[in-house]
Structure formats: C-alpha cells, structure tokens
Amino acid sequence: MNTRVSTLLLGLLMLSLIFADVGRSEPRLRNPTAAEADDPTNPEPPPRVQVSSAEMGKLLVKKVPPEYPEHARSKGIQGTVMLRATVSKEGNVIDVSVISGDPELSKAALKAAKKWKYHPYLVAGQALEVVTTIQMNFQLSAN
C-alpha cells in the first residue's frame, strides 16, 4: 500500500511540475548549451537568452554614467541600483527596470542605462536578444 501511495504522490508531483509553466506569459530565459549552439540541425536558437553582467561587460561599447540627482546628493543618499535590462540583437538597451536600489537614485540609473550600447551577443553566428543585469553605483565624494 505504501508503494502505491508513493507512486501516486510522485506522479502528482511530476504532473504539477509539468503544468506549472502553463500560465506563464513569458518563456523561460536560458543560455543555450554549447551543443545547441554548435548543432547545425538545431533550426533556430532561442529568441532571448540570459547573460551575466560580466559577460555583457566585455561587449559594452558605450557606457553612460548616471547623473547624480541633486536632491539625493543634498540628502547624502548613496548606494547601488540594480537594473534588469533587455538588449536588442543590435546591442541597444530596449527595456530596463529596477531590481533594487534607492528610489531617489533609480530614475537617474534608468535614464543612463537606456543610453548604453553593446556589441551584438552572438551564438553560432546569430545575434540574440539578451536579458542581463546592470549595476549603477552612486558614491558621494569624500570632499
């Protein structure tokens, strides 16, 4: 009897995992494996991949620093704003949102990140849209 119950529970667990993504509106982001990237029978790479900020940093062509907001400076606010950015196949930041950081600094970080430019991210010779993170640091000088 315990074996039947265990088998039933395992089956229910597997079904819940299978159907967990049914309601998702956005596909899961993933990096293609090396085998997928090099497989000539793979008809098309995924339309969007997640790439680390370190890897995207190597492709950065134009980095616009944020303008420190005067109201934040006068209040002594400093810190880091983490952003989630979508980079187009052409290397333009086409969408950016705040993950974390002081709201007083976030607007300036978003404005600067939208001006960043990257070399296209290539997999098997094809440019892909990328989701990555951008870190903006706001530090008051010691003067």
> Which 8-state DSSP code applies to residue 124?
T
Look at residue 23 in the predicted model and tell me its pLDDT: 45
Rounded to two decimals, what is the model's pTM?
Answer: 0.66
Helix, strand, or coil (residue 19): helix
| 71, pLDDT greater than 70 | yes
> What backbone phi and psi angles, to 5 degrees, belong to 81?
-115, 125
Distances (CA, A) of 58 to 7, 54, 99: 49, 7, 22
Contact 111, 66 (CB under 8 A): yes
Give 113-141 pLDDT, tens digit per residue. Answer: 999 999 999 998 999 999 999 999 999 98
Contact 56, 130 (CB under 8 A): yes
Q: Which CATH fold topology does 30-138 show?
A: TolA/TonB C-terminal domain (3.30.2420)
| 28, pLDDT greater than 50 | no
Tell me the mean pLDDT in the region 12-19: 52
Rounded CA-CA distance 49/47 in Å is 7
Structural element, H or E, at residue 121: strand 121-123
Structural element, H or E, at residue 55: helix 53-57
Tell me the mean pLDDT in the region 3-26: 53
Give 86-114 pLDDT, tens digit per residue. Answer: 999 999 999 999 999 999 999 999 999 99
